[in-house]
Amino acid sequence: MNVLTKPLENDLVFGTQADRDWWRGAVIYQIYPRSFQDTSGDGVGDLAGIAERMGYIASLGADAIWISPFFTSPMKDFGYDVSDYRSVDPMFGTLHDFDHLIAEAHRHKIRVMIDLVISHTSDQHAWFAESKASRDNARADWYVWADAKPDGTVPTNWLSVFGGSSWAWNPTRKQYYLHNFLTSQPDLNFHNRDVQDALLDVTRFWLERGVDGFRLDTINFYFHDTGMRDNPALTEDRRSDAIAPSVNPYNYQDHLYDKNRPENLEFLKRFRALTEEFTAIASVGEVGDAQYGLDIAAQYTSDNDKMQMCYSFDFLAEELPTTERVVKVVQQFEDAAPDGWACWAFSNHDVRRHGSRWGDHAPERDIYLTLLAGLLMSLRGSVCLYQGEELGLTEADIAFEQLQDPYGIEFWPDFKGRDGCRTPMVWESDGDNAGFSTGEPWLPVSPEHRQRAVDAQEHVHGSILNRYRTFLAFRHEHTPLIKGTLEFTSRTGPVLSFIRRHENEQIFCAFNMSAEEQFIARPDGAVEMLEGHGFSGLLRADDIELPPHNAFFARLG
């Protein structure tokens, strides 16, 4: 097997061949580059800004970063519409800036994962320009084209995630093309082997620049049903707002034929085989499906020949993470793929921040959010933390005239889009634009966020920022919390508890999910209460005392 020199050089930074398993239990810090740090003064974050803040990321204790798209793009969907996979959009910098970012991350012993958006491109990509020009050119079959029905209507009843039909008419070819998202995001035809090869070449390009892994956007959207069968209706009791807001008719279909196709498994094996040519590469797939997400995630991570990790939207939905809910989600994944590996997240760039989504229901928001952080980082699996989550940021309120997201503009005011979770990172409580930029930010800085800025929390012992740091440090010291198995010991009621086991070590974890004090029985045998995690659960002679929204950790003999 051919292993390239740059990844081998990375081993000098990260260690030996054992680091091939670095992703298992890793904490991955997601960066939305437009909103992280601007160094040019144009109001948009850039790659140089990420490199500049690498010390902060290292101070959190993150193992890796995931950077949302920075490729050349018309920005109709803010980088998730790529027009050139091999270049950096000028607003973010240059390839030289990316190389510097890699070097800075590795200097801080942080891995770099980048967002690959390969289910679709921008309509301004050269591939699509050629494909739409005629029905018989070299790339005529690189996108999903279909004839109209005899009455001129769309080929199938498939719907776009962003609203309306997922088919758009092209007058030159006199055919419809598929777009699962915006009309300016035509879907690539993965049934064409040349398309797969081209995308794998793109993957190789970034591997050779030294990236440590990938986050694969909308991984279950790659293939469509070649028989062009209509999706059946979804019964009301099975509808969910996890993928699309409840006002979107996308939720009315059972998406059997426009995504989730079995042919995807073979492509993912090809993708994994390519990454295996390099040293210690890991990938996480985003499974966008409200009905089958966990099962698909389990399938995509099975047998050690596809994705290392996947995440679904179960913990990104509005539904509160009660004991019963957490057990149901985790157990469903474990049952479907006992040898698979999940990646859990409570927030990201596509959903309302859980600081509001769930925190609005708590009498003391920061205490509750700290509990959720401890829970997230104690589950079996890897973890994605979204920038600002560690500050306890809530969803920003963006006025209609300030909206940038086409999704929010389409469904306003019933759904306000994704801008509220994408506002600039707050570095400073005072000063212009909270230390994010010297220019006018592309989205406004939320006034409510300033009091939660990094400099306002940095030296406050009990701040949510420092409690994240404390727990991450605690987690790094206890291997069962990173790589161990998980056995639930309480599945219902106000207290969620489980045991994490790795080799000969067992750690008991208990979380009071309620706003009232709780008492639970001590586990059998020797119980050594652990400290250094920032929670105040107490081991007593006959039981364990758990203050409201608090946790307890102990080593079992």
| Active site residue ranges | 217, 277
Do 454 and 428 contact (CB within 8 A), yes or no? yes
From the list 249, 193, 253, the residue with the least C-alpha distance to 229 is 253
DSSP letters, 518-541, are: EEEEPPSS-EEE--SSS---EE-S
Please name which of 467, 471, 466, 491 lies closest in space to residue 482, comparing C-alpha atoms. Answer: 471
Using the CB atoms, write b or e for 293-310: b if 16+ within 10 Å: bbbbbbbbbbeeebbbbb
- Radius of gyration, alpha carbons of the chain: 23
What separation, in Å, do the N-terminal and C-terminal C-alpha atoms of the chain show?
Answer: 44
Nearest-10 crossing angle of helices 365-376, 464-476: 20
Residue 473: which residues within 8 A CB-CB, separation 6 or more? 61, 532
How far apart CA 498 and CA 493 sit, in angstroms, is: 13
Here the tokens at position 368 are: 């509750």
Q: Shortest CA distance to 423 belongs to which of 3, 45, 12, 41?
A: 45
Residue partners of 462: CB distance under 8 A and separation at least 6: none
The conformational region for residue 43 under phi > 0 = left, psi -120 to 50 = alpha, else beta, is left
In this structure, what token pair is assigned to residue 160? Answer: 């776009």
Per the structure block, which two tokens stand in for 177?
Answer: 């093309």
Give dist(CA 518, CA 310) in Å, integer.
34
